Amino acid sequence: MGTLIRRLVGGIVVGLASTLAVATVGVGSAAALPIYPVADPDPFFSAPPDLAAHAPGDVLKIRQMPPNLYFPGSAVWELLFRTTDSEGRPMAANTTFLMPPNHVPDAPLMSYQHIINALGNKCKIATELYTTDWFTQIREAPGLNIALARGWAVALPDHLGPRMAYGAAKLGGQITLDGIRAVQRVPELQVTHSKVGLGGYSGGGMATAWAAALAPTYAPELNIVGAAEGGVPMNLGKMASALGTNPHPAFGLAMAAALGLEREYPDRMNVTALLNDQGRELQERIGNGCTNEIMFWGIGRSAAQMTDKQNFMDDPAAWKVMDENSLELYPGIPKAPIFEWHSPIDGLIPVDAIDNTLHRYCAAGTPVQSLLTPTPDHLSAAVLGLPQAIDWMEGRFRGDPAPSTC
């Protein structure tokens, strides 16, 4: 069981692969409101009443935080900023900013998007930086401390947004870009003119890859010099088709992704209305859960147990939502060079979707360096590729020509 848990801890992709097994129960049934997360008790994260009057990236609130154990020696700030949700509406989101003691003005800025498998506000990176929970989401601190030791500032956006919309990949890209805008608009943070790098793996890789692809149109003013993205689910529909509706040890993540997408697209996805008693019970147990709770309560379950409806895989509206969150199908091309890594036989994500996406980027002239890690395991690939990703990013910050394996 210990090996299984380690493999699933970072497994946002499993949840996304499974999500259509529940998510496509569709809009054809009677409407029911999504179950949103319990509001964060900290009033700092509450959006101001004039939110719509602000532009994307505008800083709404800022505060300096106490030092924390994960990033010793670095000063910490929390920012609330205006961003945009998946359907173009104003939203408030937050990012955590780390400044190492050896930072100099306009030194490089890395926006790193964590793997976050969660539906509850208690699971946000901003919150878990100050918790002693042994199952914390802050699993990528060792690699980030390498970046901080090099004098880079680091931004850690909570890219699931205030609804904790687990599975909404495009949203993660927009929050990431607006979080960068926000920290660069605060002179005291000393990154106004910094070169910017993006990084992340698995679910965090999705937010990273979407930020890179959206940047030319969504935030063209940002000086993004590179994006290091690993283990990225590039096509959610393919993942869903491959997995189907059979019982799975990671079904909790699947259910969480379905509920998260329903939160982000309440007018287009109606999961809650079609749940039976078992489905509603699971929804209640994981609706504000973090990784350990979600996996525990969902292990070995299946979509067929959650709803009494038949043929729910046929709903076109939910498939369209999945397509809209699949980079393989998004026509935008990153301008910044890409470093991409994954296992060549990753059993959790469709590698052909990665290959197709990167080939399209190469054909458009974007430098892409791809690394195949010598492991069949999804999570271990994250560890094997991250040091090389940081070294690659160092070259981009120096201004070296970007290598390419196109």
Condensed to tens digits (0 to 9), the pLDDT of residues 168-207 reads 999 999 999 999 999 999 999 999 999 999 999 988 999 9
Q: Are 120 and 256 in contact (CB under 8 A)?
A: no
d(CA 319, CA 306): 19
d(CA 227, CA 159): 16
Judge whether residue 26 has pLDDT over 80. no
Q: Are 210 and 173 in contact (CB under 8 A)?
A: yes
* Lowest-pLDDT range of 196-210, 282-296, 372-386, 390-404: 372-386
d(CA 291, CA 310): 29
N-to-C CA span, the chain: 40
Q: Are 224 and 212 in contact (CB under 8 A)?
A: yes
**CA angle 256–260–266, rounded 5-degree value:** 135
The CATH fold of domain 1-406: Rossmann fold (3.40.50)
pLDDT the model gives residue 133: 65
Judge whether residue 16 has pLDDT over 50. no
Give me the sign of the Cα torsion angle 94, 98, 104, 108. negative
Confidence at 94, pLDDT banded by 50, 70, 90? very high
Rg of the chain (C-alpha set)? 20
Sheet holding 224-230, edge to edge: 59-65, 75-84, 90-99, 153-157, 109-113, 196-201, 224-230, 338-342, 368-372
For 47-78, b/e burial (b = at least 16 CB within 10 A) is: beeeeeebebbebbbbeeeeebebbeebbbbb
Half-sphere exposure of 283 (CA within 13 A, CB side): 26
**pLDDT tens column, 38-84:** 999 999 999 999 999 999 999 999 999 999 989 999 999 999 999 99
**In this structure, what DSSP letter does residue 21 have?**
H
* Pair of tokens at residue 166: 């687990």
* Pair of tokens at residue 119: 């539906």
In 3D space, the residue among 248, 201, 209, 247 whose CA is nearest the CA of residue 328 turns out to be 209
CB atoms within 10 A of CB 151: 14
Question: Which CA distances in Å does 307 have to 14, 24, 55, 288, 362?
Answer: 20, 11, 41, 21, 43
Give me the sign of the Cα torsion angle 158, 159, 164, 167. negative
Residues 6+ apart with CB under 8 A from 213: 173, 327, 330, 332, 333, 334
Average predicted confidence (pLDDT) for the chain: 87
Confidence at 277, pLDDT banded by 50, 70, 90? very high
Three-class DSSP category at 316? helix
- Give kind and range of the element (H or E) at residue 228: strand 224-230
Three-class DSSP category at 143? helix
d(CA 49, CA 307): 39
pLDDT the model gives residue 191: 98
d(CA 58, CA 66): 24
d(CA 156, CA 136): 15
Q: 378-398 and 2-9 are packed helices; what angle lies between their axes, rounded to 10 degrees?
A: 40
**pLDDT tens column, 213-253:** 999 999 999 999 999 999 998 998 887 776 667 788 878 88
In 3D space, the residue among 358, 371, 370, 367 whose CA is nearest the CA of residue 335 turns out to be 367
Rounded to whole angstroms, the maximal C-alpha distance in the chain is 60
d(CA 141, CA 363): 35
